[in-house]
Amino acid sequence: MTNLRRPAAIEVGAWVRAAGQVRAVVAVSATSVTLTGEGEAEPLVVGTGELLAAEDFAVIGSPVRMPLPAASLMETLPEQARQKALWWEGHILEVLHGLPPGAGPDAEPRPDYGPGRSLTVRERAKAAELTAAGHPAAASTVALKRRRYQAQGVMGLADHRPVRKKAAFGAVDDQVVAAMRQAIAEAVDASTRRGTFIIWRTGELLRQTPEGWAVKLPSERTLYRLLAKLTDGTHTFGSAVTRRSRAHGAVGPFGEQEVFAPGEIMQIDSTPFDVLVLLDSGVTGKVDLTGMIDVATRTLTAAVLRPTTKSVDASVLLARTVTPEPMRPCWADALAMSRSVLPHRRLLQLDERLAHAAARPVIVPETIVCDHGKVFISRNFQSSCRFLQIEFQPTHKGSPFEKGHIEKMLGSVATLFAQFVAGYTGRSTDHRGRHLERERLWSLLELQELLDEWIVAAWQNRPHDGLRDPAHPGRAFTPNEKYAALIEACGYVPVALSGDDYVEVLPALWRVVNDYGIKIKNRIYDSEDLGPMRRQHSGVQSKHGLWEVHHDPYDVSRIWVRDHHGDGGWVPATWKHLKRVPVPFGDLAWDHVARQLPEATEEELAVAVSALLTRAYAGPPGEPGPRTSRRERRVAAHTKNTGPSIPAPKPAEPDQPEDEPDGESLAEVIPLGLFDPLEDPWRRK
């Protein structure tokens, strides 16, 4: 049977011989072939028929493209193994192409490696040549090397035994590895335990299956080494919060939502602020920090400190975001917007409120991203977002990475600001110092002033790693610089909040307007303007004719009633017993005293609250006497610092009598005693 061998093809890269010359094929078309010229001469174009008709025409080399050499992997091999692979490469190239590496265009292949020889013949010839030279090799060995070289390149010729990878878990049985993986997975949502429990649980899981009974556990040291490998990066023995977050977080690559305009996406969140605050004389406590950040510019548009975060705080934060930050008398002139990189003159033509504003951009949110905290998913906050036409977008539950910018910002505030403040507590009790309450602590209002100034002076002018120029990654912008760059392309639309708008974002209640006024938690509010509303139906059928009332939980001195019969405006009403109390106070203090005096009249409650605030403000008396409880002091301190700052009368010194205006002395405040349920309420004192 005749052995039919496919002739070599004329293709780009092949070497052909014609008219006594060997040239390389540069280009091939249907009617012509372009060959390289002699020296620096122009390429030679020859007709296909003319080339094939030459007497000595032959294709002496075909363009076999080998894989690119893995230079970086070759460096991992020992020097001897690397040189051996390169030595084999030269011989294999001669088997494949007929010519050894470095042979010029005029070189002729040796007879055993000519174009008329098959690969099998060439491999046998190469094996005989190597054996004669003192390197014994069979033809099958040369064929195996040739196939590896064609598939893997020079790395296929290397001896990998010196760098052969070991098994990931050594000689440990796969069932032991699987059982320990299961024990680690069970510990994700459980409390943090030690490694001894995981190893014990591994043995228990193995004994639950018939196959596991036959498996012998390795030594304790081997189990601990296996445990260290399997728990690497899982926080199995660390923070439970971090462990659950990593286990239930995204498993794919993290995506990034592109933002191109200020306010396109903003994020809001709250966290405990790691600083002790002087809430009142001798009373210290921690507060919550609620902040909002713009993703496009990393601008911290607003941040407020509160003893307890309420839904109204998020609404107030939203109002501060769209309102310019005013310059304070004690601030340096360098913090003014007119002296910053922000385009103050151009923005002033659009928004007159920026005339005396600090260097903090005013950004109107389009979308606000938040978690499922009660503060942010409350009806009050969502109503505020709808009022300002802002899209409200909660994250998925258990996915804090979806609002990573605000999470990182809150951590940065602790690193860049909180740790420099007197009374810094650290992030946990393990990092807390001793006797912090003895330090000279800032009050809540003073600390808020410091935070506002720090945002304008430090945060807005600090280069941010996430604000790099794509064309010049070496340049990092500050939030103010990024805002100034984006505002040129996106424009500026001011949104001014009036007094009515502020009332609109406050929590709402529905009440009856009686002859005596409106009652809210045993407090009566009244005003002359409520006359047309008394004992009248509001016209709101869904609320059974009740009237819409907005109130501030941090200031119980007044409320606002919507005029449903008129233009829908607000009618203010003040608390009937406001003059009895030196300062406004909130619901927290009222509810505390109400529990102490069941069924007490409104006047008694007002006097009791006033006495509580007076005792807490004055501090412990000079002589031994009744002391206020810790809860009373904390309630009074929270209330005093969250309400408007109305100065209270300064108490007289113990040994100096007060001035008596108009010949009348002030009445003495007598603290209320403890409530005795067995005492006869009708007996005169």
223-248 tens-digit pLDDT: 999 999 999 888 899 888 888 877 77
- 370's tokens: 């938040």
Q: Which residues lie below 8 Å from residue 405, measured CB to CB, with a gap of 6+?
A: 267, 293, 295, 298, 466
Residue 103, pLDDT score? 77
Ranges under pLDDT 70 in the chain: 1-8, 12-13, 38-41, 61-71, 115-116, 162-167, 249-256, 279-282, 308-313, 398, 493-502, 505, 552-555, 579-685
* Four-residue CA torsion sign, 337, 343, 344, 350: negative
- In the chain, count of helices (H) and strands (E)? 20, 16
Task: Give yes or no for a contact between 293 and 321, defined as CB atoms under 8 angstroms apart.
Answer: no
Q: How many Å is the maximal CA-CA distance in the chain? A: 140
Residue 497, pLDDT score? 58
Q: How far is CA 656 from CA 352, 624, 648, 651, 652, in A?
A: 52, 19, 19, 10, 7
Residue 7, pLDDT score? 54
Residue 282, pLDDT score? 54
Angle subtended at Cα 117 by Cα 112 and Cα 123, rounded to the nearest 5 degrees: 65
Cα dihedral angle (112, 116, 119, 125), rounded to 10 degrees? -10
* Four-residue CA torsion sign, 76, 80, 85, 90: positive
Rg of the chain on CA atoms, in Å: 42
Q: How far is CA 239 from CA 24, 182, 187, 189, 229, in A?
A: 68, 19, 12, 11, 18
Region label for 33, one of left (φ > 0), alpha (ψ between -120 and 50) or beta (otherwise) = beta
**Which of 389, 432, 81 is CA-nearest to residue 284?**
432
**Which of 515, 448, 509, 95 is CA-nearest to residue 278?**
448
Per-residue model confidence as pLDDT tens digits over 345-384: 888 877 777 888 888 888 888 898 888 877 777 777 787 7
Q: How far is CA 407 from CA 366, 394, 472, 636, 670, in A?
A: 20, 15, 27, 32, 49
**CA 484, CA 491: separation in Å to the nearest integer?**
10
- 160's tokens: 């990998």
Residue 54, pLDDT score? 84
CB-CB neighbours of 471 under 10 Å = 6
User: Which CATH number does the domain 266-490 belong to among 3.40.50.300, 1.10.238.10, 3.30.420.10, 3.30.465.10?
Assistant: 3.30.420.10
Decide: helix, strand or coil at residue 289. strand
Q: Which residues lie below 8 Å from residue 563, measured CB to CB, with a gap of 6+?
A: 533, 569, 570, 571
Strand partners, 249: none
DSSP letter at 672?
-
Residue 450, pLDDT score? 83
Strand partners, 292: 268, 302
Domain boundaries of the chain, sorted by first residue? 15-61, 71-163, 174-248, 266-490, 506-576
**CA 598, CA 679: separation in Å to the nearest integer?**
14
- 238's tokens: 């660390």
